[in-house]
């Protein structure tokens, strides 16, 4: 067995969160090994947020051009996927090559090890024949992979996940999208706007089921206006592929055919691969259970999708900031401990950096490490109109027994919505805790729904009293001014 190599920190998985933790700890002077088996940066830059938003930007440009007819004359639009595919290939992903990201990490002083890492006992990580002993800790950032339901016949077909949908160079003539969540709807609308005949099949009784029902209605109407067929309440039971076309059979005899099938029915963490049993952590959980400093157990932290706290890049980055502060606080404690002289010779530079970070107030002592707080977790579905939401939905708030007040206004009845005219679908919905006099949730749907959301995130995060929200000044005529109308509706 290989002799373990002692380092300060090992990060398994260099997705969004892992790359941030590993890079910042390396910059702070710790010896950091980052292990990645695919591309440094993870899902977001190569198959997620960034390329999908490039697709959406292009599809929205087509939609805006089509709106010229209602506002400014006439426009003829000729969609062409080639520039979109080229931009994703060349600008977003470097043809799915992570050299820039890998160099960014090693440029900060980190050491990149390619391969699959797994825990191998307390503070130990194995990658192939290499074993590392982590003096200060191990950070797990192994993310999620598409969760493909066990539908009869599906596994034997060339179905797409988000990877193939993002990498596509030639659009199919038709596409079945299995799953009406955020990713399914975003991609469905993009492909429809480029002329693909798209059908969305969703098992629940509405699309975007985790958001407010009003948001589901607006999103479904918008996609239908783009020509997307939406079937809700249909459970997929069997899939066939005859070499060129897919047929999806649902309950009640429903059947749908298309050239391609995109499966976007959620994502799953693969904890069984991580050697968690060697450190006494239950690998049968759905996600890694973490405390509010993202600790899994002594000396092990987790960040990102694998924690199950929200599958968003902004969650991974938020958590990364907490883990960085906590690991540095630990490193400082170790330096100050009884055997500090033993470690100081090995990690003198690291300790110096950690101490200076503490002195400058960037991370603070263990006592001042920030705690994770997800009350004001924002989420945006980048359909057109965008669906932004923060905190609790009305239903979640009522289920918690909160004395709920609801405020609602349609965007079209605001001055800006009226001016905007075509494409002004949307609303603001506010959920207030009447006893506390604060907002605990909000939804902002509209052409700039995700941007308008920011004001509502501040309100929920900082528990701004409703009286103050009612008496602040909202610029005229902005979309966010509709928040004021919804506040009036609360009373």
Ligand X SMILES: Cc1cc2nc3c(=O)[nH]c(=O)nc-3n(C[C@H](O)[C@H](O)[C@H](O)COP(=O)(O)OP(=O)(O)OC[C@H]3O[C@@H](n4cnc5c(N)ncnc54)[C@H](O)[C@@H]3O)c2cc1C
C-beta closer to ligand X: residue 276 or 482: 276
Nearer to ligand X, 66 or 314 (CB): 314
User: CA distances (Å), 193 to each of 163, 171, 370, 443, in order?
Assistant: 20, 11, 44, 25
Cα 197 to Cα 212: distance, rounded to the nearest angstrom: 27
The residue range among 228-236, 312-320, 345-353, 358-366 that interacts with ligand X, by the rule CB under 6 A, is 312-320
CB 223 within 8 A of CB 383: yes
Computed from CA positions of residues 86, 90, 91, 96, in that sequence, does the dihedral angle turn out positive or negative?
Answer: positive
Judged by CB under 6 A, the stretch of 151-159, 299-307, 335-343, 346-354 that binds ligand X is: 299-307
Distance CA(328)–CA(351), nearest Å, equals: 9
Question: Can you tell me the distance from the alpha carbon of 233 to that of 252, in angstroms, rounded to the nearest whole number?
Answer: 10
Using the 8-state DSSP alphabet, how is residue 41 labeled? Answer: T
Residue 249 token pair: 């059979």
Please identify which residue in 4, 6, 27, 49 interacts with ligand X, judged by CB under 6 A: 49
Q: Should residue 281 be labelled a site residue for ligand X when binding is judged by CB under 6 A? A: no
305 scored as a contact of ligand X (CB under 6 A) = yes
Q: Is 109 in the site for ligand X (CB under 6 A)?
A: no
What's the gap between Cα 353 and its chain centre? 31
User: Least CB distance from residue 38 to ligand X, whole Å?
Assistant: 4
Q: Decide if residue 138 touches ligand X (CB under 6 A).
A: no
Q: Which is nearer to ligand X, 26 or 430 (CB)?
A: 26
Unique residue bearing structure tokens 């069984």: 272
Binding pattern for the stretch 14-33 against ligand X, x by CB under 6 A and - elsewhere: -xxxx---------------
Confirm or reject binding of residue 35 to ligand X (CB under 6 A).
yes
Handedness of CA 221, 226, 227, 230 (dihedral sign): negative
Nearer to ligand X, 381 or 409 (CB): 381
Q: Is 179 a binder of ligand X (CB under 6 A)?
A: no
In three-state secondary structure terms, 295 is strand
- Taking contact as CB under 6 A, which single stretch among the options 110-118, 408-416, 456-464, 480-488 is the one that binds ligand X? 110-118
Q: Any contact of residue 184 with ligand X (CB under 6 A)? A: no
Residue of 31, 60, 141, 189 that binds ligand X (CB under 6 A): 141
List the interface residues with ligand X, window 238-277 (CB under 6 A): 273
Alpha helices in 194-312 (DSSP H): 213-225
Angstrom distance (rounded) from CA 369 to CA 301 = 14
| Binding positions for ligand X, rule: CB under 6 A | 12-13, 15-18, 35-39, 42-44, 47-49, 52-53, 116-118, 141-144, 162, 183, 273, 304-306, 311-314, 316, 382
């Amino acid at each position: 067995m290989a002799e373990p190599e002692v380092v300060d920190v090992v990060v398994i998985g260099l997705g969004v969160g892992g790359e941030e933790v590993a890079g910042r700890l390396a910059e702070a002077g710790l010896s950091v090994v980052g292990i990645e088996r695919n591309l440094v940066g993870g899902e977001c830059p190569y198959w997620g947020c960034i390329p999908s938003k490039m697709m959406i930007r292009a599809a929205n440009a087509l939609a805006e051009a089509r709106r010229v007819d209602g506002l400014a004359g006439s426009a003829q639009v000729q969609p062409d996927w080639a520039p979109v595919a080229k931009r994703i290939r060349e600008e977003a992903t470097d043809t799915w090559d992570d050299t820039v990201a890998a160099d960014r990490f090693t440029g900060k002083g980190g050491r990149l090890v390619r391969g699959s890492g797994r825990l191998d006992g307390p503070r130990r990580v194995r990658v192939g024949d290499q074993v590392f002993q982590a003096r200060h800790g191990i950070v797990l950032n192994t993310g999620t992979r598409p969760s493909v339901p066990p539908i009869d016949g599906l596994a034997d077909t060339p179905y797409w996940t988000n990877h193939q949908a993002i990498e596509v160079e030639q659009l199919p003539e038709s596409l079945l999208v299995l799953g009406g969540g955020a990713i399914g709807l975003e991609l469905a609308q993009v492909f429809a706007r480029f002329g693909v005949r798209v059908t969305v099949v969703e098992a629940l009784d509405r699309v975007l089921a985790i958001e407010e029902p009003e948001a589901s209605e607006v999103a479904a109407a918008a996609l239908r206006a783009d020509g997307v067929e939406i079937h809700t309440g249909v459970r997929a039971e069997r899939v066939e592929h005859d070499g060129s076309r897919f047929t999806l059979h649902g309950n009640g005899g429903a059947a749908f055919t298309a050239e391609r099938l995109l499966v976007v029915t959620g994502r799953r963490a693969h904890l069984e691969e991580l050697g968690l049993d060697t450190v006494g952590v239950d690998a049968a959980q759905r996600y890694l259970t973490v405390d509010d400093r993202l600790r899994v157990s002594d000396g092990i932290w987790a960040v990102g999708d694998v924690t199950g706290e929200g599958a968003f890049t902004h969650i991974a980055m938020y958590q990364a900031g907490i883990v960085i502060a906590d690991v540095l606080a630990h490193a400082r404690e170790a330096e100050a401990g009884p055997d500090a002289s033993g470690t100081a010779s090995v990690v003198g530079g690291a300790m110096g950096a950690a101490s200076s970070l503490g002195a400058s107030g960037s991370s603070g002592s263990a006592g001042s490490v920030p705690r994770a707080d997800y009350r004001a977790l924002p989420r945006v579905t980048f359909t057109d109109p965008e669906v932004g939401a923060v905190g609790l939905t009305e239903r979640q708030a009522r289920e918690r027994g909160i004395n709920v007040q609801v405020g609602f206004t349609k965007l079209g009845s605001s001055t800006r919505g009226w001016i905007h005219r075509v494409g002004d679908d949307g609303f603001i919905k506010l959920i207030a805790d009447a006893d506390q006099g604060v907002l605990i949730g909000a939804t902002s749907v509209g052409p700039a729904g995700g941007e308008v959301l920011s004001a509502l995130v501040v309100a929920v995060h900082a528990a701004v009293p409703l009286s103050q929200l009612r008496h602040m000044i909202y610029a005229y005529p902005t979309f966010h001014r509709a928040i004021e109308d919804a506040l009036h509706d609360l009373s």
